[in-house]
Structure 1
Amino acid sequence: MNRRDFIKSTSAATLGLGVMGLGSVAKAAPNEKVIVAVAGIRSRGNYLANKFAGLKNCEVKYVIDVDSRYLPSCAAGVEKTQGKKPQQISDFRKALDDKDVDAIVIATPDHWHAPMGIAALSAGKHVYVEKPCSHNPAEGELFVAAQKKYGKVVQMGNQRRSIGATQRMIKEIRDGVIGNPYFARTWYSRNRKPIGFGKEVDVPDYLDWDLWQGPAARTAYRSNVHPYNWHWFWRWGTGEALNNGTHELDIARWALGVEFPTKVTSLAGRYAYPDKDDWECFDTQNISIEFGGDKLITWEGISAGNTPINKQGRGVMILGDEGQIDYYADRYEVFDKNHNLVNKVDSVQADENADQTDTTDPGLKDNHAGNFIQAIRGVEKVNSPIDEGHKSVLLGHLGNIAARTGTMLECDAANGHIKNNKTAQALWSREYAPGWEPKI
């Protein structure tokens, strides 16, 4: 089957399988231009600002960042792409007050994702939020509830759901190519260096530190937090399990066709560089997640050692009772029960409409941003709605909670809530700065 025939034959079938279109479709006129604001534009946000600026029927009106250093270059790139210069602002609330803005794209630090997204929904905006969609499980539930209340489109930035190879793989699994999928092994490896010991210093004049902290409980500015190392502090970040593990955990959950777990265990620590910095999160972690006693997902995170598995720094191995699939973002391999190679598929074979121009990360060869805009315009259904995003992000949260408390978590299969463990339940939510608590 060639690419064009494959796309035609699966476009309708995938909707019935739940492979795509799990979210709602907006009711905007299909020919209307969608106006967006992009918040957090240092790295991923800069990419997204230019990505959205290059989409048909889309305009980036605002680029937003509390660090003024990043605004001019991002604005210049957007202007070059769309032929119109966006406004440069530091406070996202100005964009929420603008009636012309249809959607906000959130690529801020993790502690801002859900509070900003919920505020945007209450202001009548659609939301594209980078993974993870929440800093803690309670925020994820609030985000889902807010989407249901306000009825706007919310897409989480786990862009592998919009890659042709991924969609084709899921369909093949549903069609029985490896029989009953029962186990998924996932991993991520990265050679990160120590971050040193931060010192309390004056806030740089280019940074609005109070607004950067936003919903997080206030603390003094330290020299080794901004712009990236906040990932490794629990006050703002969620560790590698959410920073990168979200992608593979999401694919594993999707492939196995599971929802909420019933049991979660994790061992983890700061093993690579003990006592050499004030990194709080884990640099080495193993998470095991069981679903109903008959399906299992594991995630292995190695943040301080570039150690590939299956010759890959990240990936998913999916075992079924009739075979196996090895998945690597934009391609996968199918094996029979005797581990004989049956087939190889990549995004070029699977989807001729995928963006093949960005070679910096295979996970960026997608049409995730375009799918979001098309959903707002009422043409498509969103590929990664917030309720599905929350279920996948929750797996990483529960893994972190299990490791931080040193306990095995028993969970409610209906919603993932932790049972009979007050210590672990205390980490379900977080402390907020007064007046910044997310509300719907």
Structure 2
Amino acid sequence: MTRMPDANSPEQYALDRRQFLQAVGSAAGTAAVVGTLAEPRAAVAAKGPNEKLTVGIMGVNGRGSALTRSFVTAGAHVSYICDVDERAIAKAAAIVGDQQQIKPAGISDFRKILDDKSVDILICAAPNHWHAPATILGCAAGKHVYVEKPCSHNPREGELAIAAARKNDRVVTMGSQRRSWPGIVEAIQKIKAGEIGKVHYARAWYNNKRPNIKHGQPAEVPSWLNWTLWQGPAPEKAFKDNILHYNWHWHWHYGNGELGNNGVHALDVCRWGLGVDYPIRVTSGGGKYRHDDDQETPDTHVVTYNFPGNKSIMWEGLSWSPLGSMLNQFGCSFHGENGSIVIIDPGYKQYDDRNKEIAASPTGSRGGDPDHVGNFLDCVRSSKRPNADIEEGHKSTLMCHLGNIAHRVNRVLTTDETNGHIANDEAAMNLWSREYRPGWEPKV
């Protein structure tokens, strides 16, 4: 018997895309593209410095809404707002408001963004299991990509995302905004200039008081949700009433726990300041202590990363206790032979070797998205590498994956300093990739 394609599958999409594009193309002022999903698309034509860059935004229930505002403010034109939750589309469209003459088209399937040659950029702010597959498809379609952190759901996806960016000569950045914040940039410059002496150690932390997510029950899929497309590349599971729109973070099937959720930001800054790439040893401690619920990822997590050259990074995450180091929920500190620098958003404080404060970031140091979005758009126009290039994003995201893998196999990992691969541990390397829904395996 011939298998009928899934309505949300690449096969079915290839069958009906022409009809869809005839309808959406006229509404959005776009032209249809002929070909199949697996075919590489022609690269988007370069635009002059005074021409608006056109974007399509995938996932607007959380970070995507903030990015919608930032890209519009930066002068980009939003052609598409995409979400599998139909309620979210109108909210994001309201952010665009009257700031552009042609209103964005509201869609549920991001592949329609890929098929529109007039779109320069794909912004992916969907859940983690979508980040790398969407990035890879975006690059193949000739789009530059702004992908939220973490840039992958597993290590292999990160490697493929780099390969896709390079093969298709696309600018791909990860949403690690601190790479572009002036106060933090200044702090890193001081560290690299030797102002606190040789730095051996960096510490990162994130604290919160997250609620009990309870034990979810099987439920009917809400009428406003395309559950199959929400899952996308992840193998299909039955809908439960405690997954959306945030608790997927705490399920390995879709998320990466607090380490991949917020730890990636601080670990990225630590790795940047120490000037390290891949660790040689990863040690994990902690577990799930606080709530009796469906959370699979640890709520109490301490991970230590050892690097060549007598350098190490430690991350502490507590999802049930809001008091963090330096009385802040989020931050990181660098410890040198002649002093320390503590980064607390959006800037820093510098201390001598007797803990006396001797410098701080300039008053009015900015945080948020504008500098990072601006850097990305500038690089799309100039074909330069952005502050948070996908390769840097992968190295920092990999630290999260390695910490989670060490937790899941319950042992210390020995890793290759040239690529981060796990040595002599088959069970751990089995977590380097994942199973995918048939037809959605990422390829370059």
Fold-level similarity (TM above 0.5): yes
> Which residue is 2:192 aligned to?
174
Q: Deviations over 1:255-291 (max 9, x none)?
A: 0000100000101211011xx2111111110000000
> Any conservation in 2 of the 1:165–1:347 contact (CA below 8 Å)?
no
Pick the aligned partner of 1:46 from 50, 65, 69. 65
Q: CA deviation at 1:31?
A: 2.1
Q: Tell whether 2:128 aligns with 1:110.
A: yes
* Cα distance change on mapping 1:32 and 1:381 into 2, 3 Å: farther
Question: Quick one: structure 1 residues 379 and 142, their matched pair in 2 at CA, closer, same or farther if it must change by over 3 Å?
Answer: closer
- Output the CA distance in 1 between the equivalents of 2:370 and 2:52: 21
Partner Cα separation in structure 1 for residue 364 and residue 370 of structure 2: 11
User: Is contact 1:267-1:287 (8 Å) kept?
Assistant: yes
Equivalent position of 1:36 in the other structure? 55
Please identify, of 411-420 and 276-285, the stretch whose mean Cα deviation from structure 2 is larger. 276-285
- For residue 319 of structure 2, what is the aligned residue in structure 1? 303
Shift of 1:348: 2.4
Structure 1 letter corresponding to 2:147: V
1:433 alignment partner, SS class:
coil
Distance 1:135 1:347, change over 3 A: farther
Q: Deviation at 1:174?
A: 1.3
Structure 1 residue aligned with 2:74: 55
1:372-411 equivalence runs, <5 A = 372-378=376-382, 381-411=385-415
Distance 1:221 1:347 in 2: 48
Select the residue among 91, 114, 126 that pairs with 2:144: 126
- Give the CA deviation at 1:166: 1.1
Aligned residues of 1:64 and 1:88 also touching (Cα < 8 A):
yes
Distance in 2 between residues matched to 1:315 and 1:250, nearest whole Å: 11
User: What is the match of residue 333 of structure 2?
Assistant: 317
Shift in Å, 1:71? 0.6
Write out per-residue CA displacement over residues 147-171 of structure 1, whole angstroms, 9 at most, x where no aligned residue: 1100110010000011001111111
> Which moved further from structure 2: 72-81 or 386-395?
72-81
Q: Secondary structure at the match of 2:145?
A: strand
Matches within 5 A, 1:255-270: 255-270=273-288
Residue 139 of structure 2 aligns to a residue in which SS? helix
3-state SS of paired residue (2:159): helix
Contact 2:57 2:122 in 1 (8 A): yes
Q: Which of 169, 184, 187 is the matching residue for 2:205?
A: 187
1:221 paired to 2:225: no
Offset of residue 175 of structure 1: 1.1
How far residue 376 of structure 1 moved from its aligned partner, in angstroms, is 1.0
| Aligned twin of 1:21 | none
Q: Which amino acid aligns with 1:241?
A: L
Which residue does 2:423 correspond to in 1?
Answer: 419
User: C-alpha root-mean-square deviation of aligned residues, in Å?
Assistant: 1.4
Amino acid aligned to 2:213: I
Aligned counterparts of 2:101 and 2:66: Cα–Cα separation in 1: 17
What are the Cα deviations for residues 185-220 of structure 1, in whole angstroms up to 9, with x where unaligned? 100000001001101111111000110000001110
> Does the CA contact (< 8 Å) of 2:286 and 2:298 recur in 1?
yes
Moved over 4 A (4+): none
CA distance in 1, matches of 2:295, 2:438: 26
Distance (whole Å) between structure 1 residues aligned to residue 361 and residue 310 of structure 2: 28
- Which residues of structure 2 form unaligned runs of 5+? 1-44
> How far apart in 2 are the matches of 1:347 and 1:222?
47
Quickly say closer, same or farther: Cα 1:365–1:141, change in 2 above 3 A.
closer
Q: Which moved more, 1:129-138 or 1:365-374?
A: 365-374
Which 5+ residue runs of structure 1 have no aligned equivalent? Answer: 1-25, 350-355, 357-362
Deviations 1:387-409 (A, max 9, x none): 00000110111000001101100
SS at match of 1:310: helix
Cα deviation, residue 381, structure 1: 4.4
Determine the C-alpha separation between the residues in 1 that align with 2:305 and 2:240.
36
| Structure 1 contact 78–84 (Cα < 8 Å) conserved | no
How far apart are the structure 1 equivalents of 2:302 and 2:395? 19
* Higher RCO (CA-CA < 8 Å; seq separation 6+): 1
2:372 equivalent in structure 1: 368
1:247 lines up with 2:288 in the alignment:
no
Question: 1:245 & 1:366 partners in 2: Cα distance?
Answer: 22
Partner in structure 1 of residue 299 of structure 2: 283
2: CA distance between counterparts of 1:315 and 1:68?
Answer: 36
Percent identical? 46
Deviation at 1:416, TM superposition (A): 0.4
Structure 2 CA distance for aligned equivalents of residues 70 and 202 of structure 1 = 19
Show the counterpart of 1:143. Answer: 161
| 1:232-243 alignment, distance < 5 Å | 232-243=250-261
> Does the CA contact (< 8 Å) of 1:50 and 1:81 recur in 2?
no
What is the rounded CA distance, in whole Å, between the counterparts of 1:400 and 1:28 in structure 2?
42
- The Cα offsets for residues 279-317 of structure 1, whole Å up to 9 and x where unpaired, read as 111111000000015000000000111122111101101
Q: Which residue of the other structure, out of 360, 372, 382, is the alignment partner of 1:344?
A: 360
Q: Match of 1:334?
A: 350
Change (3 A) 1:27 1:97: closer
Deviation at 1:380, TM superposition (A): 6.0
Q: In the alignment, which residue of structure 2 is the partner of 1:8? A: none
Q: Is the 8 A contact 2:201 2:335 kept in 1?
A: yes
SS at the partner of 2:434?
Answer: coil
